[in-house]
Structure 1
Amino acid sequence: MIYRTIRYAGDGRGIVRLTLARPEKHNALSALMIGELTDVASRLGADATVRAVIVEGDGKSFCAGGDLEWMRQQFTADRQTRIAEATRLAMMFRALNEMPKPLIARVHGNAFGGGVGLVSVCDAVIAEQGAKFGLTETRLGLIPATISPYVIARIGEVRARPLFMSARIFGAEEAKTAGLVSMIVTAATLDAAVEAEAASYLAAAPGAAGRAKRLARSLGSPITDAVIAATIEQLADTWETEEAREGLAAFFERREPSWRR
């Protein structure tokens, strides 16, 4: 299958580099990218020759969150359409989270909103020193709903609460303290660190590695259909608030929302 927003390539060892390929949009998650990432997660997960997958971003950012045009479409959509789109996004995160392969994030530049969601579903996260993170949804009057089960599973409720509510941007050191990032390295050593992390999984039996990942997930907070559906309903409710209408209108009109005046 030919993808338009992502690409992937493997080496002779079974290590695959999965690249978000919308550098001009800071690799923001468009409707097309959501579908392509869901598809490739299934393909790579079922491929017995794949031993580990590195997720990376082209250009200046890892992933800046939701695509502007995709957000604009949600702004004018009805509740059922918003639920359907949020469900597509949730299924993408689930597919990546449940992929029976080691998943390693190579993070540089910005990882905001859905970008933090992508980081959260990875098994190991190697970040450049200057990387920036943020759960920025409340700046728009929204909530980080579809990514929330994975962020909570990664860093826990106590650390997530202030980050969910404040929408502030934070650096790699704080992300590591929170448990979002596994290792921080310089820009010059980022690729070598990612390669070393990916290569470490080659010593493990591939089937056992997948089963070990499933075991670890089964012992954590369960991310069930009901949990996912409940977060999507909360998002749909939030989209219908005056704050969301004001926050998104201000964003598209390039002005400050009323609560920041």
Structure 2
Amino acid sequence: MSDFNTVELVNDPRGFATLWLSRQEKNNAFNAEMIRELIIALDQVQADATLRFLLIRGRGKHFSAGADLAWMQQSAELDYHTNLDDARELAELMYNLAKLKIPTLAVVQGAAYGGALGLISCCDMAIGADDAQFCLSEVRIGLAPAVISPFVVQAIGERAARRYALTAERFDGQQAQAIGLLAQSYPFDELNQQVEQWTANLLLNSPAAMRASKDLLREVGNGALTPALRRYCENAISRIRVSTEGQEGLRAFLQKRAPSWQSQEPRS
């Protein structure tokens, strides 16, 4: 596993990983190095068939304060084509996270500004603290939330995305839940306990079925009914029923016992 300077990838013996943003001295703000290291870390996660799901978290007080000021200053001095290269690197991070084959859960505390909302929106699920602060802050400094915008719109809808991208107003965890960015918000001192509960719940599920469900829902998209989608769904359930874990899950249900993936001992 690679040595990182700005992130940490920690595997849990129960079969999942946590990807930590780890620039506490900079409130986990993005720079070019962090973006590249996040891409590499996600490649490692994608290649690890033993992982059931991924948590994304921030070390310290804040999830992420957005873009690093020194990095933005450097970007302002670069020409169009170099800035385009930077944008493509950020886009690679966001698209790779959105397409990750295992479930992803973001856990948010403190500030989550700018590009941090992109990371959260790319995850399948997100939870956070009631007092967390969210902001699409780009227009305040003469920019636009361009690369992250498709994912933010998918997460909170076009109308809410227009409001928060154009006003740059801050909103808390409870409002983030109300608009769909967070699945749940909790008092800050309960957040780690709730992470354990979410983790325990995900560990009950068939790893192969969760991956298949991600593939299925990606194909279903907005649910527009077409003959091709009907055939895809018919094939999807047929494949999972005859798979190893599908057969094991059906047998376990009928025999009133726990399936094998719930009784596995943690890996050392």
Would the TM-score normalized by the shorter structure come out above 0.5? yes
Question: 1:57 is matched with which residue?
Answer: 58
**What does the per-residue CA deviation read over 1:100-127, in whole Å, with 9 as the maximum and x for residues that have no partner?**
1111111000000011111101111111
**Deviations along 1:208-249, whole A, 9 cap, x unmatched?**
21221122223336xxxxxxxxxxxxxxxxxxxxxxxxxxxx
Are 2:215 and 1:214 equivalent residues in the alignment? yes
For 1:177 and 1:168, how far apart are their aligned partners in 2? 16
SS of residue in 2 equivalent to 1:181: coil
Amino acid in structure 1 at the alignment position of 2:106: A
C-alpha offsets along residues 131-157 of structure 1, whole Å, 9 cap, x if unaligned? 000000000111100100110111111
Please report the TM-score for the alignment, with normalisation by the length of structure 1.
Answer: 0.82
Distance in structure 2 (CA, Å) of the matches to 1:69 and 1:217: 37
Q: Distance in 1 between matches of 2:207 and 2:96?
A: 18
Instruction: Name the count of aligned residue pairs.
Output: 221
Distance in 1 (CA, whole Å) between partners of 2:46 and 2:190 is 28
Identical counterparts, % of pairs: 38
Q: Which residue of 1 aligns with 2:20?
A: 19
**RMSD over aligned Cα, in angstroms?**
1.2
Aligned to 1:67: 68
Q: Which has the higher mean CA deviation after the structures are superposed, 189-198 or 19-28? A: 189-198
- Structure 1: which 5+ residue stretches go unaligned? 222-261
Q: The residue matched to 1:54 in structure 2 has which SS?
A: strand
- Does structure 2 retain, via aligned residues, the 8 Å contact 1:153–1:220? no
Query: What's the secondary structure of 1:18's corresponding residue?
Result: strand
Counterpart position of 2:32: 31
> 2:255 — aligned with what?
none
Q: Equivalents in 2 of 1:69, 1:220: separation in Å?
A: 38
Higher relative contact order (CA 8 A, sep 6+): 1
Give the alignment of 1:1-261 within 5 angstroms: 1-220=2-221
Partners of 1:73 and 1:207 lie apart in 2 by 44
Q: Write the distance in 2 (CA, Å) between the matches of 1:215 and 1:165.
A: 34
Contact conserved, 1:26 with 1:60, CA < 8 A, in 2? Answer: yes
TM-score (norm 2): 0.80
Amino acid at match of 2:162: R
Displacement of 1:20 in angstroms is 0.5
Structure with higher Rg: it is 2
**For the Cα contact (< 8 Å) 1:126–1:184, is it kept in 2?**
yes
Are the counterparts in 2 of residues 131 and 171 from structure 1 also a CA contact under 8 Å? yes
Partner AA of 1:51 in structure 2: R
* Secondary structure of the structure 2 residue equivalent to 1:66: coil
